[in-house]
């Protein structure tokens, strides 16, 4: 058996979303984004180099990768090989701790874990900043999952400048909770890659980009002060702003289902009853309910009892890390 590296990384939930690229292909974002890396929803990826393999072999959640998923992973490995000036192909196997059939994107945790495992296997000793720029080539949001806790991806002028930085470690706000409400587990019809591309056709995009810096400032302050009210308010505004861009893109993009609205309304109802909870929604129908340890049991009970949806509970977690090297 050859030299193998196993890395783990958490998914993340963005309070200020990344939607739209300045330059296609490099995932150079139009705006800075801020997220929290998750502790429970993680991807574990092993990369083993092979002298004899004539192509990369990629197994995702137990099945050989095909089509777009395979092409995307191979292109990513190619950019790591170029950087390391190496030629060997890789055997990659990757598993996510969260059910990948439930509509939670695994690209952030997947490419962050792959970036660390592949860079290390190919002999690159990278600082978090460089690792983050590389992970960004796989998926924009993966740049943030390289780091733990509360993370900002700078929009940056070029490839080297668009990297993620930690605003606060996960230990800074351990009581924060993300209750992921699975409204629908169907795979989305339009990928976020396509969504980023058509964002430019939305008449709302300019207004969104003008509003993001002030909102991002409120999110940074909320993290510093550990204020759920400040964080949640900005996160709800930003989710609506991103979904307004999606809905007004041409062709339009509507990720919501009726259940999405039911959860939004329940969250607002809970707030009226002084149960602190706020929502945010990524590129899909599922809703992330932001709350604290104190209110979580009640929020979870109400989501299940009145709406009947499945939930996954998560909280802030660490950044990408190597968990195994073979041989030692």
Looking at the Cβ atoms of 89 and 218, the one nearer to ligand PMV is 218
Looking at the Cβ atoms of 50 and 248, the one nearer to ligand PMV is 248
Looking at the Cβ atoms of 201 and 306, the one nearer to ligand PMV is 201
Nearest distance, CB of residue 14 and ligand PMV, angstroms = 4
Q: Determine the Cα angle at 235 with ends 232 and 240, to 5°.
A: 130
Looking at the Cβ atoms of 49 and 134, the one nearer to ligand PMV is 134
Looking at the Cβ atoms of 236 and 282, the one nearer to ligand PMV is 282
In sequence order, the 6+-apart residues with CB closer than 8 A to the CB of 47 are: 4, 5, 7, 90, 91, 92, 114, 117, 118, 120, 121
Nearest distance, CB of residue 317 and ligand PMV, angstroms = 16
| β-pair type (63-64, 176-182) | unpaired
Nearest distance, CB of residue 140 and ligand PMV, angstroms = 4
- Pull the structure tokens for residue 241: 């702003």
Looking at the Cβ atoms of 96 and 107, the one nearer to ligand PMV is 107
- Containing 23, the helix (H) or strand (E) segment is strand 21-23
Residues 300, 301, 305, 307: what is their CA dihedral angle, to the nearest 10 degrees?
-20
Nearest distance, CB of residue 310 and ligand PMV, angstroms = 20
Which residues are at the interface with ligand PMV (CB under 6 A)? 14, 17-18, 33, 105, 107-108, 139-141, 192-193, 282-283
Looking at the Cβ atoms of 111 and 309, the one nearer to ligand PMV is 111
In sequence order, the 6+-apart residues with CB closer than 8 A to the CB of 81 are: 87, 88, 122
End-to-end CA distance of the chain: 12
In the block, residue with structure tokens 């059910």: 99
Nearest distance, CB of residue 274 and ligand PMV, angstroms = 30
* Contact assessment for residue 109 and residue 41, using Cβ atoms and an 8 Å cutoff: yes
* Contact assessment for residue 135 and residue 115, using Cβ atoms and an 8 Å cutoff: yes
Cis peptide before 86 (omega within 30 of 0): no
Nearest distance, CB of residue 283 and ligand PMV, angstroms = 4
Residue nearest to ligand PMV (CB): 141
- Strands annotated E in 199-302: 278-280, 287-292
| β-pair type (57-60, 89-96) | parallel
Looking at the Cβ atoms of 4 and 143, the one nearer to ligand PMV is 143
Nearest distance, CB of residue 328 and ligand PMV, angstroms = 34
Nearest distance, CB of residue 90 and ligand PMV, angstroms = 22
């Amino acid at each position: 058996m050859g030299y193998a590296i196993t890395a783990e990384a958490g998914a993340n939930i963005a309070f200020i979303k990344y939607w739209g690229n300045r330059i296609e292909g490099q995932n150079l974002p139009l705006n800075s984004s801020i997220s929290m890396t998750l502790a429970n929803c993680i991807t574990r990826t092993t990369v083993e180099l092979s002298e004899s393999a004539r192509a990369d072999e990629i197994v995702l959640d137990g099945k050989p990768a095909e089509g777009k998923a395979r092409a995307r992973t191979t292109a990513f490995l190619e950019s790591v090989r170029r950087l390391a000036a190496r030629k060997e192909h890789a055997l990659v196997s990757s598993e996510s701790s969260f059910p990948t059939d439930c509509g939670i994107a695994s690209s952030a945790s997947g490419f962050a874990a792959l970036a660390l495992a592949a860079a290390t296997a190919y002999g690159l000793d990278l600082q978090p900043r460089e690792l983050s720029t590389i992970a960004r080539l796989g998926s924009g949001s993966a740049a943030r999952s390289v780091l733990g806790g509360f993370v900002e991806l700078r929009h940056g002028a070029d490839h080297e400048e668009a990297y993620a930085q930690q605003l606060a470690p996960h230990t800074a706000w351990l009581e924060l909770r993300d209750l992921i409400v699975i409204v629908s587990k169907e795979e989305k019809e339009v990928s976020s890659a396509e969504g980023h591309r058509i964002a430019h056709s939305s008449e709302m995009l300019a207004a969104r980009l003008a509003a993001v810096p002030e909102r991002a400032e409120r999110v940074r302050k909320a993290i510093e002060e550990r204020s759920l009210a400040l964080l949640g308010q900005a996160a709800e505004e930003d989710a609506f702003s991103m979904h307004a861009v999606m809905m007004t893109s041409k062709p339009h993009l509507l990720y919501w289902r009726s259940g999405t609205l039911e959860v939004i309304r329940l969250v607002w109802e809970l707030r009226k009853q002084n149960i602190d909870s706020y929502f945010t929604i990524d590129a899909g129908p599922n809703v992330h309910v932001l709350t604290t340890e104190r209110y979580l049991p009640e929020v979870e009970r109400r989501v299940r009892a009145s709406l009947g949806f499945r939930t996954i509970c998560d909280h802030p977690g660490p950044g990408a890390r190597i968990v195994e090297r073979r041989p030692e």
